Chains A and B, each alone.
Chain A
Amino acid sequence: MAVFPSREWVEAVLEAAEKSEKHKEAAKDWEGDFLCMIGGDAEFLRDLSRREVMEGFMGFMDMMPVEARKKYKGTPMGNVFEKNLGVSLNASIKELNVGEMLDKTSKLSTADLKGASLYFWADFWHGSVRAMKPVPPGEHEDAAFKLSGTYSTWKMMVSGKQDTIRLVMSNKLKLEGDMSYIVGHMKAVVSLTKEVFAGVPID
């Protein structure tokens, strides 16, 4: 079980993609990176109140160099860190007092998360995942595709509980980019959820 999103989750996804012959075959022609936006919501707040999720999430943020992390300053997500949780974006995440953060999280409401978004970038290439990492706002804006949705929607997708197509159809996930390319590579899209993401159980 891995926390989504966390360093462990990213590593497990990379490993699952590497091991999956089915995905390699289904996505052998795919070339295109995704800028992904995860919007904070009530479920995010609920999950964050659990120590293992908070630790996993902070580990995910720690994948970003301090200079990149600082770019969240002044954004709704940056404000959650600095104003609500009292965590400086310059701070060494390993030295943070998780207990204190959990205490502060318990005082947050969903209104505090309004507009708060976390970004990550994933580069899918011929059946492999060449890169997957958290990024600051404004980076990789030129990605071939942009996928955005709330934290709870992302969990539905990466857990394999809902297929990506249904989430996009119902407007829960917003997809921007060359749709004719997507529909021409539906096998790759379906396989990414079924064979890669769903192969990594999340907590």
Chain B
Amino acid sequence: MYFEIDPKVREDKGLSLLREETHRFAEGVMRPAAERLDKMSNPEDVIAKDSPYWDVLKQAKKLGYHRVFIDPDHGGLGVSAIEAHIILEELGWGSVGLATAIGVDQIAPAVASLFAMGDVLENLVKPWVEDTEAKYHGCWGVTEPECGSDYIMACEESFLPHVKELHPGEVRADEDGDGWVINGPKSGWISSAPAATHVGLHVTLPPHDSLANGAFCVVPLEQEGVTKGKPIDKLGLRDDPQGDIVFNNVHIPDDYMIIRPPFYEFRIGQIICVTSCFMGTVFTGLARAAFEEALQYSKNRVQGGKPLCEHQLIKQKLYKMFEKVESSRYYTRKIMEHVWEKIYIEKTYDASSRHALSAQIYGKRAAFEVAHEALQIFGGYGLTKDFLIEKLFRDARAGLIEDGTTEVLGLAAAYNIVQEY
């Protein structure tokens, strides 16, 4: 286990126990399941009834990890930012793909718990937080076939003067009696969609002229008019089933429309602040996993008459990897603390988006760079399926695209920097 540099964290027995407990789950449950899921040649097997995907979700829910982001007033775990960060780093260490499934699972109930009123709290959030059998499973419907990165830009308040230059969106909600009717396609990159029972969905509202004129709603997926695509076959994060969802005259009640104008336009980016901290942290976990794999391998593998770690070139690589892992941990943790304060404590919803986005970019980039160097230390063996580093490398590479490419995330942050710094 790594040495915790922050004494406030290191000397807190509760935090140490939390880390140990989560690490046991990551090592004993997530790692073996992720290995099996990754090797499944048919992506549909990942979400089959007897798949280890469901075992992980059930156990995660029993341990309460599906409640990290839920408002404590509505059944949330009530953890601090540091506790959340510790949990997420360990989950990412276990498997970023499965951590993503645990993360996106929470988006619909978390947003509802923070902003909704009425039946949705009783009928959706309450049973969701009480669920320990993975009867409820959520996904987050953002990207669309014609506008993927557009949504990332539209969620950045500083970009709003330019938002009409983007695609106006394909998934639309229109008023229908005392509720809403939804039509249109979400693209094949929706994490957990093929397995999900509900989606936290971004839609546009009449006159459907801009992504900013939108709303966030919760849509139960097991109903007429919803078509969920098959899990796609892909390079990395194979334990995170992704697929499309198409809506054809799908109805939801009015109280399932959670964030609507005028707040959607200006504050939807706050969800991205939370998810960015999540991504930055779980990828920090992946970076650490890759570093630890390489360190261990370098101590055992003998080349040129001595262990790899005794070669100066390898020592230098190990140092650089260590530095990236450590800086990623404390950078993402600090930003997590800021975002947590604004969203869950003060509830002013004014977290700094440039910082949150940079936490995501930093964590993902650290993960890729560390996994890349780690694989290099493994040499030819790193390219084989015999070592975990091969999967970690593929997962880290996928991370540079998933949840927004690092380029577009950086561009969104740059608009904020230029306008607000």
Interface residue ranges, A against B (CB under 8 Å): 162-163, 165-172, 175, 179-180, 183-184, 186-187, 189-190
Residues 7-25 of B contacting A (Cβ, < 8 Å): none
> Considering only CB atoms, which chain B residue lies closest to A180 in the complex?
B266
Tell me whether B266 and A187 are in contact (CB under 8 A): no
Kindly state the separation between the CA atoms of A167 and B118 in the bound complex, as whole angstroms. 11
Contacts of B259 in A (CB 8 A): 169
Contact partner of B266 (CB less than 8 A), chosen from A163, A172, A179, A190, is A179
Tell me the smallest distance from the CB of B373 to a CB of chain A, in Å: 42
Chain A residues with CB below 8 A from B349, complex form: 165, 183, 186
| A186 CB contact (under 8 Å) in B114, B118, B254, B348 | B348
> Cβ of B258: which chain A residues have Cβ within 8 Å of it?
169-170
| Contact of A170 with B346 in the complex, beta carbons under 8 Å | no
Output the least CB separation between B160 and chain A (Å).
Answer: 8
Chain B residues near A175 (CB-CB < 8 A): 262
- Tell me the B329-364 residues at the A interface (CB within 8 Å): 346-350
User: Could you list 14 A-B pairs, sorted by A, with CB under 8 Å?
Assistant: A163-B347, A166-B114, A167-B117, A169-B116, A170-B116, A171-B254, A171-B257, A171-B260, A175-B262, A183-B350, A187-B346, A187-B350, A190-B346, A190-B348
Inter-chain CA distance A108–B374, complex, in Å, is: 77
Residues B263 and A169 in contact, CB atoms below 8 Å apart: yes
Which of chain B's residues have a CB closer than 8 A to the CB of A170? 115-118, 255, 258
Bound-complex Cα distance A99 to B137 (A) = 57
Decide if A179 touches B348 in the complex (CB within 8 Å): no
Taking a contact as CB atoms under 8 Å apart, the answer to whether B267 and A183 are in contact is: yes
Contact A179 B347 (CB under 8 A): no
The CA-CA distance from A175 to B263 in the complex, in Å, is 10
Nearest 3 interchain pairs by C-beta: A186-B348, A170-B117, A179-B262
Least Cβ distance of B72 to chain A in Å?
14
- CA separation between A172 and B157, bound complex, in Å? 25
B residues sitting closer than 8 Å to A (CB atoms) are: 114-118, 157, 254-255, 257-260, 262-263, 265-267, 346-350
For the complex formed, measure the closest distance between the CB of B391 and the CB atoms of chain A, giving whole angstroms.
41
Give the distance in Å from the alpha carbon of A180 to the alpha carbon of B157 in the complex.
Answer: 9
* Docked-complex contact A165 and B115, CB < 8 angstroms: yes
- In the complex the two chains form, is A187's CB within 8 Å of B348's CB? yes
| B266 partner residues in chain A, CB cutoff 8 A | 179-180, 183
In the assembled complex, the Cα of A175 lies from the Cα of B255 at a distance in Å of 18
Instruction: Name B's interface SS.
Output: mixed
- Residues of chain B within 8 A (CB-CB) of A163 are 347
CA distance A184 to B419 in the complex (A): 14
Give complex CA distance A175, B265 in Å: 14
| Complex-state Cα separation, A20 to B348, whole angstroms | 18
B262 touching A165 by the CB < 8 A rule? no
- CB contacts (< 8 Å) of B346 on chain A: these are 187, 190
Note all chain B residues with C-beta closer than 8 A to A168.
Answer: 263
Q: Which residues of A contact B348 (CB under 8 A)?
A: 186-187, 189-190
User: How far, in angstroms, from A186 to B350 measured CA to CA in the complex?
Assistant: 7
On whether the beta carbons of B117 and A166 are closer than 8 Å, the reply is: yes
Residues of A within 8 Å of B263, CB to CB, are: 165, 168-169, 179, 183
Cα distance A103–B266 in the bound complex, in angstroms: 49
Q: State A189–B117 Cα separation when bound (angstroms).
A: 19
Name A190's closest neighbour in chain B (CB-CB): B348
Closest residue on chain A to residue B116 by CB atoms: A170
Q: How far is the CA of A166 from the CA of B258 in the complex (A)?
A: 9
A190-B116 contact given A169-B259, A175-B262, A179-B265, CB 8 Å threshold: no
Complex Cα distance, B158 from A183, in Å, reads 13
B117 and A162 form a contact (CB under 8 A)? yes
- Which residues of the partner chain A approach B118 to less than 8 Å between Cβ atoms? 170
C-alpha spacing A167/B117, complex, angstroms: 8
Residues on B with C-beta less than 8 A from A171 are 254, 257, 260
Q: Which of B157, B266, B348 has the most A CB atoms < 10 Å from its CB? A: B348
Q: Given A179-B263, A179-B265, A183-B266: A172 and B117 within 8 A (CB)?
A: yes
- Known A165-B115, A167-B117, A170-B255; 4 more pairs at CB < 8 Å: A170-B115, A179-B262, A179-B265, A180-B266
CB distance from A57 to the nearest CB of B (A): 26
Residues of A within 8 A of B254 (CB): 171
A146 CA to B113 CA, complexed, in Å: 26
In the bound complex, do residue A165 and residue B347 qualify as a contact, i.e. CB atoms below 8 Å apart?
A: yes
Shortest CB-to-CB span from B24 to chain A, Å, is: 37
On chain A, the residues within 8 Å of B255 by CB distance are 170
CA distance A81 to B260 in the complex (A): 36
Shortest distance between the CB of A30 and any CB in chain B (Å): 13
Q: Which B residue's beta carbon lies closest to that of A188?
A: B348
Q: Which residues of A contact B265 (CB under 8 A)?
A: 179
Interface centre among A170, A175, A184 (most CB of B within 10 A): A170
* Chain A residue at minimal CB-CB distance from B263: A169
With contact pairs A183-B267, A186-B348, A190-B347 given, residues A166 and B262 touching in the complex (Cβ less than 8 Å): no
**CB closest residue in chain A, given B267:** A183
With a cutoff of 8 Å between Cβ atoms, the chain B residues found around residue A186 in the complex are: 348-350
Considering the chains assembled together, what is the distance between the CA atoms of A137 and B157 in angstroms?
36
A174 closest partner in B (C-beta):
B262
A39 and B394 alpha carbons, distance in the complex (Å) = 58
Q: How far is the CA of A170 from the CA of B120 in the complex (A)?
A: 11
State how many angstroms separate the Cβ of B378 from the closest Cβ of chain A.
49
- In Å, the complex CA distance between A168 and B117 comes to 10
Contact residues in A for B260 (Cβ distance below 8 Å): 169, 171
Residues of chain B contacted by A179 (CB below 8 angstroms): 262-263, 265-266
Q: Which of B115, B118, B257, B265 has the most CB of A within 10 A?
A: B115
* Distance of A175 from chain B, by nearest CB (Å): 7
> Closest residue of chain B to A170, judged by CB?
B117
**When chains A and B are docked, how far (Å) is the Cα of A186 from the Cα of B166?**
28
